[in-house]
Structure formats: structure tokens, C-alpha cells
């Protein structure tokens, strides 16, 4: 008689805990999803406008955005994610003043990385031709890439700023800035592309301007409010321990870049198929829509990364573990909802992105693969967020190499070219790599000793100056902001 009573007592507590944790997650995830959607929509809306200019123009912008810009985006976002680990754990440990120093160190590293990436933008046409793109598309994409160089440096500043704010749970700041800029971007894009007839140049100007407006908006908040003590001015301490930071940043970059490049390779391989313009246009529309849905999961990625890093930094390993369970269930449920909506509207949604009936028909053919990818997007980014929050970037980088490039890519090549399944075969093979990676991350997360992770978080905060945060001198090492 006592066993049922005991079960009855536990279940309401579990439900209550889940509800409390869900509220904490949504306070971070909601604005983070909105921010991710708005920032992603800048490029997606640009592609949508350009798609009504011409098929070659859409292919050129898609190639630049997915291959050249996508490569840079992956590097910058990956390196910026290291700041999520450091700032999140330092914030959880109460070492608030070190967050500003971490932010400045990341700016130094990412701006130097942007300079290293410049040749890819400058010499993009021969690189794209080398990867099998037609000269017409490669030349136009290369011209667009030169106009998008300001965006590269905006990436270098934006991702650290956003991680800095999100780690403190100041998620409404980037959300409000992104929302305002998105409205401005739509107006400017319409005005420059259609009203003034500036075409691709107008698209580039609107996109560059929008990204820099995001930077100025977020920096204004940080410099004016001091971010509740997290920003105490520019400091020479930013140049301390740079080498140790670079190692963690490189591991983070490799982890996320391997994922972004995986999808970039999908676009490149598709460009080598018969009738590549139609194939690339159709796939770019699918990737565009997938990217929007992925941004929802990316909001959960940010939320779980913050929750895990904060709780590990505060020495609460079991709370971190429970947060992982709650956000995984929530995110994958939304993935199934997105899949259902897509399948119901599979004959209609392509017309929002293109005026070509041939391209629209090809997109409809790919909708089943797109729907399955959306379900995977419900869980895989969350597990990556757990990895970032716990500081497992190097481990996940090895997993990604094996799953994506040893299994998924060869399988995609085999199905796409050897067995003539075309873009469906390439995409199916690469989905196989994502499935394998997701399974391995589930196993790793399930077997994690969260007490050990909390101890490592404490060691990491101590190692990189967290214990001395309160001793940062107010003069000498500080430069007036």
C-alpha cells in the first residue's frame, strides 16, 4: 500500500520540477530563438528578394551565403561559442567582472581570424570553379562576396557580444536589437533591390548595413549600462592568456565548422549535378527554410548552453543534468510539429521563394528529406549546446569528423553519383552522418558524470582568472571605455 503512495508523492514533484525548469529555459530560449530567427532572416530575406530577380542571381547569392559566407559564419560562430563556455561558467561562479575581459580577448582572436579569412572572399571565383561551379555562377558569387566583406568583420564582433550578453541571461537585449534591425532590413532591401533597381549591389549594401546596425545597438547597451558590472572598460588583461584561449577557441571552431561545412559541401556537390542551376536553387530554398527551423533549435542550443554552464559554474551538477532532459524533450517535440506543417504545405510553400515552376516542383520532391532533417534539428543542436556548456568541444570535434566525413559524406557521394539518386542521394547520405552523430552524443550525454563536470568547471574558472576577478585593479590595467 505504501509503494503507490510513494509514487504518487514523487510524480507531482517531478512534474513541478519540469515546469520550473521549463520556465527557466523558455526565459532564455524564447528571446534567443527570436534573435536567431531575426539574424538568420537577414540573409534569408535577401535570398527571397533576389529569387524574384533571376535564377542565376539566386544561385550566386545562395552559393556566396552558403559556401563563402557560410564558411566564415561557421568559423566565427564556432570560435565565439568558446566564450559561451567561459562566460557562462564564470557568471555561474559569481566572477562577473571577468566577463568583459573574456569578451575583449575573443574580439582580438576573432578579428585576427577575419583577416585570415579575407583571401577566401577575394579569390572566391577560382575556388568555386575548382569545386565544380559554373563560371557564370562563380563570377557573380565572387562579385557578391567582395561586397560582403563588411559582414565578415561584423561576424567577428557580433558573436562574442551575443555570447557575452546571453551568458548573463540578458537575452532581451539582442532580441530587441535584432527585431528592429530586421524591419529596417526588409524596408532597405525592397527599396534598394526593387525600387531603385540596384540588384545584387543593393542586396549586399542592405545586408552589410543591417549587420553593423546590430553591432552598434548591442554595444550601445553594454557601454552605457556597463552590463551590471560585467563591463568595466577596455583592459590590458585582454592580452593575457591569449594562447590558452586560442586553443579552446580553435576546438570550438572545429566542432561547429565541421557541422556548417557539412551542409556547405551539400551545396557544392549539388552544383556538380546535371542542370546545376535548378538543383542549387531548389536545394538553397530547402536549406533556407531548414535554416529558419534550425534557428528555433539554435535558441534551445543557446538556452541549454547557458543553463549547463551556469549550473556547473555554480556547482549544481544534478540541476544541469535535469535541464538537459527537459530541453531535449521540448526541442524534439517542436521538431515533429515543424515536420508536420512542412508535409501538409509541401505543394505550396515553394512558391513563396521562387517564381519558377520548375524550381518549385524540385523543392516539393525534396520536402520529405527536409521534413526528416527538421526532426533531427530538434535534438542535435541541443546536444551540441550541452557540449558547449560543459566544454566538450574537442571531443565533439572528433565525433563530427568520424560521423560526417568518414561516414556521411562518402555515403552521400555513393548514393548521389554512383547510384544516380542526385541531390536526394547526396542529402540522404549526409543525413545518415547526422543520425550517427546524434546517437553518439545521446550516449555520451547519458553516461556523463556531472559531478566531475562541475569540478572541471570550477578548475576552468580558477585557471583563467575567475578567482581573481574581484582583484582586477581599477587603475593601471584598465583603459577608460
pLDDT digits (tens, 9 = 90+) for 282-305: 887 887 788 777 777 778 877 887
CB 415 within 8 A of CB 429: yes
217/97: higher pLDDT: 217
Cα–Cα distance list, 398 to 165, 245, 391, 456 (Å): 29, 19, 14, 20
CB 281 within 8 A of CB 63: no
**DSSP single-letter state for residue 234:** E
Residue 371 has phi, psi (to 5 degrees) of -65, -45
* Length of the chain counted residue by residue: 481
Burial of 8 (0-12, 13-18, 19+ CB in 10 A): exposed
How is the chain split into domains, by residue range? 27-467
Q: How far apart are CA 306 and CA 453, in angstroms?
A: 15
CB 154 within 8 A of CB 211: yes
What's the pLDDT score for residue 66? 76
pLDDT digits (tens, 9 = 90+) for 455-480: 876 776 676 554 433 433 333 333 33
- Residue 371 cell numbers, joined: 521534413
- Pick from 402, 471, 455: which is nearest to 93 by CA? 455
- Crossing angle of helices 357-390/276-313, nearest 10°? 20
Residue 266 has phi, psi (to 5 degrees) of -60, -45
Element (H, E) at 229: none
Q: How far apart are CA 125 and CA 152, in angstroms?
A: 17
CB 293 within 8 A of CB 372: no
What's the pLDDT score for residue 137? 84
Mean pLDDT of 14-25: 85
Whose grid coordinates read 528555433?
296
Is the pLDDT assigned to residue 127 strictly greater than 50?
yes
pTM of the model: 0.73
Residues 6+ apart with CB under 8 A from 48: 288, 352, 353
**DSSP single-letter state for residue 97:** T
- Pick from 367, 308, 304: which is nearest to 332 by CA? 304
Cα–Cα distance list, 126 to 30, 77, 133, 141, 269 (Å): 42, 26, 9, 11, 16
Whose grid coordinates read 539518386?
421
Q: Could you give the count of Cα atoms lying within 13 Å of 441 in the half-sphere of its Cβ? A: 31
Confidence grade of residue 152 (pLDDT, cut at 50, 70, 90): very high
Q: How far apart are CA 330 and CA 309, in angstroms?
A: 19
What's the pLDDT score for residue 9? 42
- Pick from 217, 118, 200, 112: which is nearest to 161 by CA? 217
Q: How far apart are CA 185 and CA 214, in angstroms?
A: 11
- Crossing angle of helices 135-147/276-313, nearest 10°? 40
> Of 103-107, 348-352, 413-417, where does mean pLDDT reach its minimum?
348-352
> Of 49-53, 318-322, 418-422, where does mean pLDDT reach its minimum?
49-53
Is the pLDDT assigned to residue 30 strictly greater than 70?
yes
Amino acid at each position: 500500500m505504501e509503494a503507490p503512495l510513494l509514487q504518487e508523492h514523487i510524480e507531482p514533484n517531478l512534474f513541478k520540477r519540469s515546469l520550473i525548469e521549463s520556465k527557466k529555459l523558455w526565459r532564455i530560449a524564447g528571446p534567443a530563438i527570436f534573435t536567431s530567427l531575426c539574424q538568420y532572416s537577414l540573409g534569408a530575406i535577401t535570398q527571397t528578394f533576389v529569387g524574384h530577380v533571376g535564377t542565376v542571381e539566386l544561385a550566386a547569392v545562395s552559393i556566396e551565403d552558403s559556401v563563402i559566407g557560410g564558411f566564415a559564419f561557421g568559423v566565427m560562430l564556432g570560435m565565439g561559442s568558446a566564450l559561451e563556455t567561459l562566460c557562462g561558467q564564470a557568471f555561474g561562479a559569481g566572477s562577473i567582472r571577468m566577463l568583459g575581459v573574456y569578451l575583449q580577448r575573443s574580439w582580438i582572436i576573432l578579428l585576427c581570424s577575419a583577416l585570415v579569412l579575407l583571401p577566401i572572399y577575394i579569390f572566391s571565383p577560382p575556388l568555386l570553379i575548382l569545386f565544380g561551379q559554373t563560371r557564370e555562377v562563380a563570377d557573380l558569387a565572387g562579385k557578391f562576396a567582395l561586397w560582403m566583406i563588411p559582414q565578415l568583420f561584423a561576424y567577428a564582433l557580433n558573436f562574442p557580444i551575443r555570447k557575452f550578453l546571453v551568458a548573463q541571461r540578458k537575452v532581451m537585449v539582442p532580441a530587441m536589437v535584432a527585431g528592429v534591425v530586421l524591419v529596417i532590413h526588409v524596408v532597405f532591401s525592397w527599396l534598394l533591390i526593387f525600387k531603385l533597381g540596384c540588384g545584387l549591389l543593393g542586396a549586399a549594401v542592405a545586408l552589410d548595413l543591417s549587420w553593423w546596425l546590430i553591432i552598434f545597438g548591442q554595444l550601445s547597451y553594454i557601454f552605457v549600462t556597463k552590463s551590471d558590472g560585467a563591463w568595466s572598460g577596455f583592459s590590458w588583461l585582454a592580452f593575457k592568456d591569449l594562447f590558452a584561449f586560442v586553443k579552446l577557441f580553435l576546438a570550438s571552431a572545429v566542432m561547429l565548422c565541421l557541422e556548417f561545412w557539412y551542409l556547405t559541401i551539400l551545396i557544392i556537390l549539388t552544383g556538380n549535378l546535371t542542370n546545376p542551376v535548378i538543383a542549387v536553387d531548389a536545394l538553397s530554398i530547402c536549406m533556407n527554410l531548414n535554416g529558419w527551423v534550425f534557428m528555433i533549435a539554435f535558441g534551445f542550443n543557446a538556452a541549454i548552453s547557458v543553463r549547463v554552464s551556469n549550473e556547473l559554474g555554480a556547482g549544481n551538477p544534478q540541476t544541469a543534468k535535469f535541464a538537459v532532459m527537459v530541453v531535449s524533450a521540448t526541442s524534439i517535440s517542436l521538431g515533429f510539429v515543424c515536420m508536420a506543417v512542412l508535409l501538409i504545405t509541401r505543394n505550396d510553400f515553394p512558391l513563396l521563394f521562387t517564381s519558377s515552376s520548375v524550381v518549385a516542383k524540385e523543392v516539393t520532391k525534396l520536402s520529405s528529406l527536409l521534413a526528416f532533417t527538421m526532426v533531427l534539428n530538434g535534438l542535435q543542436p541541443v546536444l551540441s549546446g550541452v557540449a558547449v556548456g560543459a566544454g566538450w568541444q574537442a571531443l565533439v570535434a572528433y565525433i563530427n569528423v568520424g560521423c560526417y566525413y568518414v561516414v556521411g559524406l562518402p555515403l552521400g557521394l555513393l548514393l548521389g553519383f554512383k547510384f544516380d539518386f542526385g541531390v536526394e542521394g547526396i542529402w540522404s547520405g549526409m543525413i545518415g552522418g547526422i543520425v550517427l552523430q546524434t546517437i553518439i552524443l545521446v550516449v555520451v550525454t547519458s553516461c556523463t558524470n556531472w559531478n566531475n563536470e562541475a569540478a572541471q568547471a570550477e578548475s576552468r574558472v580558477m585557471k583563467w582568472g575567475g578567482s581573481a576577478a574581484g582583484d582586477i585593479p581599477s587603475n593601471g590595467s584598465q583603459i577608460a571605455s
